[in-house]
Amino acid sequence: MKNKIGQVLPTTQRLDIAMETESFPNIETDRNPESSSKCGLCTQSTCCTYVTQQIDTPRSKYDFEILLWQVSHRGVGAYKDDDGWFVMFDAVCNHLEADGYCGIYEDRPTICRSHDNDFCEYDAPAEDGFKLYFPDYPSLLAYCKKRFKKWSTGNPRPG
């Protein structure tokens, strides 16, 4: 049986992946006005269009040089929330079908199974919960210049 991911999921935790809404493809799905399920009403399946990876808290200039390199790539951003720092990637899941349903619902990964739709991207953009948000190179560079008094381009690897 196919299903959208939030319809039968335990309400354990909000998925710690996030996205920059405007940069993601707009996935049109079948809106079902008869549905009482939030996922059934969701037209973008946003939760299936990105992945994130937690990273060590960047502290040195070189740590930020690495992050600057990463966010220089199309579809890559970074953010900090209550759980720490994350790199995020715009990447629509291969299993997301045109109608917005999961094509491998019975075999979907644990992360998908534990996704809680009590408060998800259907309710508000994920970035609303970010403490820091860097969708691109200019935003992170501006932060670096503010954070480090003597920031200069090309900070070398320590040691």
DSSP code per residue over 36-84: -SHHHH-SS-GGGSEEEEEEPPP-SHHHHHHHHHHHTSTTEEEEEETTE
Determine, following the binding rule CB under 6 A, whether residue 46 of this chain makes contact with ligand SF4.
yes
Which of residues 51 and 141 has its CB atom nearest to ligand SF4 in the complex? 51
- Name which of 10, 1, 34, 7 is nearest 122 in CA terms: 7
Determine, following the binding rule CB under 6 A, whether residue 39 of this chain makes contact with ligand SF4.
yes
79: β partners: 86, 133
Determine, following the binding rule CB under 6 A, whether residue 38 of this chain makes contact with ligand SF4.
yes
Site for ligand SF4 in 104-143 (CB under 6 A): 104, 108-109, 112, 115, 117, 120-122
SS3 of residue 117 by DSSP: coil
Determine, following the binding rule CB under 6 A, whether residue 21 of this chain makes contact with ligand SF4.
no
Q: How far is the CB of 100 from ligand SF4 (least distance, A)?
A: 7
**Which range touches ligand SF4 (CB under 6 A), out of 19-27, 34-42, 59-67, 133-141?**
34-42
Determine, following the binding rule CB under 6 A, whether residue 61 of this chain makes contact with ligand SF4.
no
User: Which positions from 80 to 109 touch ligand SF4 by CB under 6 A, shown as an x/- string?
Assistant: -------------x-xx-----x-x---xx
Determine, following the binding rule CB under 6 A, whether residue 18 of this chain makes contact with ligand SF4.
no
Alpha carbon of 86 to those of 34, 59, 95, 104: distances in Å?
A: 37, 14, 23, 27
Between vectors from CA 119 to CA 9 and to CA 4, what angle results, nearest 5°? 40
Alpha carbon of 90 to those of 12, 98, 119: distances in Å?
A: 24, 17, 21
Q: Point out which residues bind ligand SF4 (CB under 6 A).
A: 4-6, 38-39, 42, 45-48, 93, 95-96, 102, 104, 108-109, 112, 115, 117, 120-122
